[in-house]
């Protein structure tokens, strides 16, 4: 039996990408994430909820920056191989420890990181010295503070080390611990619930996944990985059958504890694409747009489900990827402050003409090859929304504006490089 004609006519209207994004950001701006205090050691990848101000100097004292001998610089200002400065060695200081008071023409053997003894202000490097019993000959002039890391040289007490909204990187954790921070205030992770729709889908763990005929759900895991990369806490809603009742039931359960909702599939205009219809008659739910002027990505929809923003991504991998990067990634960043991935852009010339549809924003996958002193962008022939290999093979993406009537062979384009 054929599909009902009403469902085969296509989208009633397509929303421009810019207009759709405005709607998404307006509704998503109402989402609020709180904060929490966590161990500084476990804060990698989190966004700071407040400024971090150091309560300590780093280093906390003057310390040796090299192995050698701590001395008074004024007693070695004219030292040379022909006229060495001679000091009596009165002790040894290891890394981080030891307290000595040094008198005139006295030195303390010191190792990198050692506390500078009282009365010293420089370190003569070991390779510039000659040890003779309990004496050391300094064979090169040593200026004041030579080879000394000064107290507060790296970070001063009261200094703002990181600003609110900063994304903590691996090396930042070391900085936090160096200023003796045990805990740090961060923004809570955005909780995003995601589910796939489609009676034909199976999980990769399902025995049927290996029979060669089943459709393995590959899009949801891809989007889950992107959400995790964006610092979200992902709630996996699994796969739901093509049933209006089941879709509503699963969405209702997921909405209870989520900040955002994402569905994969069930958005095209067809008899089994039920997600937009699932919003009808549910309190606090409404469809805000369904169908955008983009290729790939046209079936994308957005609305509210029990007051929670709901992104309806197409099931085809490339369409879903375009929808995520064009809408969801920006939404997450606007809510949480988590920085978007910055992609490098390069100029290139097209290897052939590319026709486009008027009023549609096109996302063209290309490979790049060197040509002369520039780059040649070659459109990938596999342009279907479901062909994820067209992205894995691509070096970059060319975004063609709605008002462009095709691109000509040899025309210069801006290529957004893919990959991180």
pTM of this prediction?
0.81
Neighbouring CB atoms inside 10 A of 315's CB total 25
pLDDT in tens, 262-277: 999 876 655 556 899 9
Instruction: Please report, rounded to a whole number, the percentage of residues in the chain having pLDDT higher than 70.
Output: 93
The domain 63-149: what is its CATH number?
2.170.190.11
Choosing among 3.30.70.260, 2.30.30.140, 3.40.980.10, 2.60.40.180, the CATH entry for 5-33+189-336 is 3.40.980.10
As beta bridge partners, residue 321 has none
> Is there a cis peptide before residue 296, judged by omega within 30 degrees of 0?
yes
pLDDT in tens, 174-202: 999 999 999 999 999 999 999 999 988 99
d(C-alpha 130, C-alpha 403), whole Å? 77
Average pLDDT, whole number, for the chain? 91
Which two three-digit tokens encode residue 161? 């080390």
How is the chain split into domains, by residue range? 5-33+189-336, 35-57+157-187, 63-149, 345-417
The 8 Å CB, 24+ separation contacts for 238-241 are: 238/195, 238/196, 238/203, 239/195, 239/196, 239/197, 239/198, 239/201, 239/202, 239/203, 240/195, 240/196, 240/197, 241/197, 241/198, 241/199
> Is there a cis peptide before residue 59, judged by omega within 30 degrees of 0?
yes
pLDDT in tens, 236-271: 999 999 999 999 999 999 999 999 999 998 766 555
The domain 345-417: what is its CATH number?
2.40.340.10
What pLDDT was estimated at residue 2? 35
Output the CA torsion sign for 163, 166, 171, 174: positive
The domain 35-57+157-187: what is its CATH number?
3.90.105.10
Picking from 395, 212, 384, 256, the residue whose alpha carbon sits closest to that of residue 314 is 384
Given a contact cutoff of 8 angstroms between Cβ atoms, the answer to whether 400 and 356 are in contact is: yes
What pLDDT was estimated at residue 207? 85
What pLDDT was estimated at residue 274? 86
Given a contact cutoff of 8 angstroms between Cβ atoms, the answer to whether 117 and 99 are in contact is: yes
What pLDDT was estimated at residue 343? 86
Helix 329-336 with 17-28: angle, nearest 10 deg: 30
Q: Taking 70 as the threshold, does the pLDDT of residue 385 lie above it?
A: no
CA distances from 396 to 137, 180, 193, 366 (A): 63, 43, 29, 6
């Amino acid at each position: 039996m054929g599909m009902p004609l009403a469902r085969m006519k296509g989208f009633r209207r397509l929303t421009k990408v810019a207009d759709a994004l405005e709607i998404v950001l307006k509704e998503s701006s109402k989402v609020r994430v709180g904060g929490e205090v966590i161990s500084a050691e476990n804060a990698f990848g989190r966004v700071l909820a407040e400024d971090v101000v150091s309560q300590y100097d780093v280093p906390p004292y003057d310390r040796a920056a090299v192995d050698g001998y701590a001395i008074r610089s004024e007693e070695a200002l004219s030292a040379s191989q022909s006229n060495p400065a001679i000091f009596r060695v009165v002790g040894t200081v290891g890394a981080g420890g030891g307290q000595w008071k040094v008198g005139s023409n006295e030195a303390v053997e010191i190792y990198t990181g050692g506390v500078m003894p009282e009365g010293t202000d420089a370190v003569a490097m070991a390779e510039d010295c000659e040890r003779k019993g309990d004496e050391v000959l300094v064979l090169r002039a040593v200026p004041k503070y030579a080879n000394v890391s000064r107290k507060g040289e790296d970070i001063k007490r009261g200094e703002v080390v990181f600003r609110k909204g900063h994304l903590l990187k691996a090396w930042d954790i070391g900085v936090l611990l160096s200023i003796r921070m045990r805990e740090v205030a961060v923004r809570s992770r955005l909780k995003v619930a995601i589910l796939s729709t489609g009676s034909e889908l199976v999980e990769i763990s399902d025995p049927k996944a290996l029979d060669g005929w089943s459709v393995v759900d590959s899009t949801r895991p891809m989007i889950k990985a992107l959400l995790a990369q964006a610092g979200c806490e992902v709630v996996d809603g699994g796969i739901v059958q093509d049933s209006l009742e089941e879709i509503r039931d699963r969405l209702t359960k997921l909405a209870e504890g989520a900040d955002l909702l994402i569905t994969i599939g069930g958005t095209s205009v067809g008899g089994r694409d039920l997600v937009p219809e699932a919003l009808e008659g549910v309190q606090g739910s409404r469809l805000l747009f369904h169908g955008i002027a983009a290729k790939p990505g046209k079936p994308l929809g957005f609305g509210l489900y029990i007051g929670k923003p709901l992104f309806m991504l197409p099931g085809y991998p490339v369409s879903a990827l375009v929808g995520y990067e064009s809408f969801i990634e920006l939404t997450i960043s606007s809510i949480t402050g988590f920085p978007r991935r910055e992609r490098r852009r390069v100029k290139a010339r097209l290897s052939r003409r590319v026709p486009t549809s008027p009023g549609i924003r096109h996302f063209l996958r290309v490979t790049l090859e060197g040509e002369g002193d520039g780059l040649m962008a070659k459109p990938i022939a596999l342009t279907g929304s479901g062909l994820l290999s067209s992205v894995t093979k691509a070096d970059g993406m060319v975004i063609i504006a709605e008002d462009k009537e095709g691109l000509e062979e040899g025309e210069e384009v801006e290529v957004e490089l893919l990959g991180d």
